[in-house]
Structure 1
Amino acid sequence: MKFGTKLIHNGFNIDKETGAVSTPIYQTSTYHQFDIDNFGKYDYSRSGNPTREVLENTIAHLEGGECGYAFSSGIAAICSVISIFSKGDHILIGKDVYGGTYRAVTTIFNRFGIEFTFINGENLQDIKKKIKPNTKAIYLETPSNPLLKITDIKEACKIGEENNLIVIVDNTFMSPYFQKPLELGAHIVVHSATKFIGGHSDVVAGLVVTKNKELGKRVYGVQNGFGAILGPQDSWLILRGLKTLKIRMDLCSSNAKALANWLNNREDIEMVYYPDLDGHVGREVHLSQSSSGGAVLSFKTSSEEKALKFLRNIENTSVGVSLGGVETIISYPAKMSHAAIPREEREKLGIGNNLIRVSLGIEDIDDIKESFNKALSL
């Protein structure tokens, strides 16, 4: 069964109690127990909810994993995964991860005795070099946010296997449609389902999929213990968004590739970052592990002033902190997604004040180009 069909017919889509083709929203906090000595499957919705369970089973199926878990936000999912580790553990993490991830590991988890070392995910030797006796995991984001840097997932997982490390991959930018890290050797996949999986800028959610049940139990222990679960209404919204993931991603990625090439031919653009653009560092690696360049690109204007003028004048788009909606969303990483990273560190990573990130929507590409041309020409 191909992916587009799996999104609709995956074994979890029809309610077994009623035959409803749209998963019912079980808006309940607790469940009556008919036998006090033998509780039913559900007892309290923090621990399990039928609507959330359908979503969790669906994302596990789509990613090719054993267990899925739904959280109240992408960062809740990320932090819950990091919480399976203990004081004294050491984790390698990509230098230019999402700013919220950077903030969590540098201001929260470091206070609990978990040690982090930032790595250049593009350089496998850098990963090997920074492994320590207490290293327990490698946390990767590929393509990275916002410079679309590429890590060879399969080779990184080989390093992980050789050193008995858990490999975690943030797959938000690609979605399980374009990239399946578990099939390449990763152990845990995380998503901000707020983005492409939800797809309509109307819900905040996070998802985790584990390769095996042992890791699944550890993640579930944190999910149930902390309680950062996704509610049934939001679980239903994510399930609804998933049904159109393929057709949305096909159009959004087609728009992204077209806009990347168009921007790359403009003299007033200093640099374009897009995984399927000729000359993009890591392009061949990316296309060997992903079926598309994705729907996100970044570009540098000639100056900060020009970037700000563009942001103030762009039309028929949304300027905001998120991505992955049906509308084109333009972000300014220096003041949005990566504002938590000190300016000096941002600039070392190449995230300057002239960098703009674009998540392409489903609009007509000619209209997108016209809007960009007008704003860039001012």
Structure 2
Amino acid sequence: MSRVRIAAEIAGAAVLLVAAIGIGAFLREQRTEPQSPAAAPLAESLAAPTQRPQPNCAVLGQVTPVPVPPLATVDLANGKKSITSAEGGYTVIVPTAWLVQPGIIEGTAWFGQTRITSYDPKTLPRPGPEAPGILPPSFGISLDLQLWWNPKGEALDQFAQHMLIGPDQLAVLPGGVVSVGGKQAYRTTIQDQRQYQPATGPVITTRQTRIVWIVPTDRNDRVLVAYATPGESDLFPEVEKIVGAIVLTTPASPTLPVIHQRDEILGRWLYDKSGAPIAGRRAEAKLLTYGETVAAFGGGTGLPRIDRDPDELFWLVAVTGPDLPQGRGGPGGTSPPTAWIMYEAPATNDRYEGAGTRFASAGTWPADFDALPDRCR
């Protein structure tokens, strides 16, 4: 396990992992651990049991799997190696000795992401309390490549003003146009600062910069973001050349069958563990892309970084009726009964990272759910 905690960069992904663990456990346990019957009177008055049959996705369940290759590294036998993200649509060439992983958390592959470090995080000394998320320039440099949402199709300089990378961020400084992979990109600088008050003595202020490149892609709703940390490292000129020489390609998209069908998803809610129907329950599931489910949640996790394939198929599920689980938004024992739940469930795999859940204590049904499309066929 790494001895360094670069909190400024992994906080968002850690939230997604916690959410993944929570929703997975929630779905496993909800049929065997019923909630208090105090929720039943309100839920029964709001519920309308599912009446019409809802077909499974027979066609999509039979498609031939065509996965996207994972992050690929090739030794060029000249002191360099190439790193290609097929789903991210880019190739970079870096020194052979530099370490590579498919995302900001070791051991977890995130959509289109690459983290490259000139150092081994496991060998770094434990940081002190004054700036645990800021790496001293003498330790080396990291380069992260990620896809970010740009839902409004903003100009790159305007998009930069909304960027937030980590809790130590102080300001986004003015930038300018540069060339990356033959495209006009925007380069800016993020100023980080952390202040720490020791028990005795003056406040300790630690600063660093992140150099950020925002590169347009073939789609107006997303951009490629590369950032080097810290900008004060002696290795920054080399990283600057690496980014300028990025080779941009058309991102690849997988074709995967639906392995979790509608009856499986709805059966978790409409029947108890003995197989008997639960009176007063209504449950509906619509097959959408992940991007569509995020939009249905009004932005999902709120992270502009894209951690899941926006075209990946997900079930958007809505449930109302008696004995629904309660959310964890308040102190124990104070949450009101749940009127309805809406959540995302992967249809082509078992990964719940980035899946959202909403618990509502008022209303009868999630607004606009019935008007959403259904890609199931």
Query: What is the TM-score with the length of structure 1 in the denominator?
Result: 0.25
- Higher helix share goes to which structure? 1
More strand by share: 2
Q: Which has the higher contact order (CA 8 A, sep 6+)?
A: 2
